[in-house]
Amino acid sequence: MQNNSKEGIINKNLPGFQYLTTERNQKFFGLVLTLCALSFFGFFAIKPTISTILELQKEVKDNQYVLNQIDVKIENLTQLGEQYSNLKDDIPVVTNAVPMQPDAPILFAQIQSIAQTSDITIKKLQNFEVEIIRNDKEANKNYYSYSFSVAGSGSFKNISAFMQKLVNMGRVINIETFSINNVADLKNGIAEFDIKGTAFFKDSL
Is the pLDDT at 160 greater than 80, yes or no? Answer: yes
Q: In terms of pLDDT, which residue wins out, 139 or 47?
A: 47
For residue 69, the number of C-alpha atoms closer than 13 Å in the C-beta half-sphere is 6
Is the pLDDT at 147 greater than 60, yes or no? Answer: yes
CA 128 – CA 126 distance, rounded (Å): 7
Is the pLDDT at 92 greater than 80, yes or no? Answer: no
Range 135-142 contact pairs with CB under 8 angstroms and sequence separation of 24 or more: 137/203, 142/202
Is the pLDDT at 2 greater than 50, yes or no? Answer: no
CA-based angle 162:168:173, to the nearest 5? 95
CA-based angle 185:187:188, to the nearest 5? 70
Q: In terms of pLDDT, which residue wins out, 109 or 31?
A: 109
Residue 118 — pLDDT band, cuts 50, 70, 90?
very high
- SS3 assignment for the chain: CCCCCHHHHHHHHCHHHHHHCCHHHHHHHHHHHHHHHHHHHHHHHHHHHHHHHHHHHHHHHHHHHHHHHHHHHHHHHHHHHHHHHHHCCCHHHHHHHCCCCCCHHHHHHHHHHHHHHCCCEEEEEEEEEECCCCCCCCCCCCCEEEEEEEEEEEEHHHHHHHHHHHHCCCCCEEEEEEEEEEEEECCCCEEEEEEEEEEEECCCC
Distance of CA 123 to the CA centre of its chain: 49
Question: 30-68 pLDDT, tens per residue?
Answer: 676 777 766 666 666 666 776 777 788 888 888 888 888
pLDDT at 3: 47
199 within 8 A of 104, measured Cβ to Cβ = yes
> pTM of the predicted model, to two decimals?
0.53
CA 85 – CA 79 distance, rounded (Å): 10
Mean pLDDT (the chain, rounded) = 76
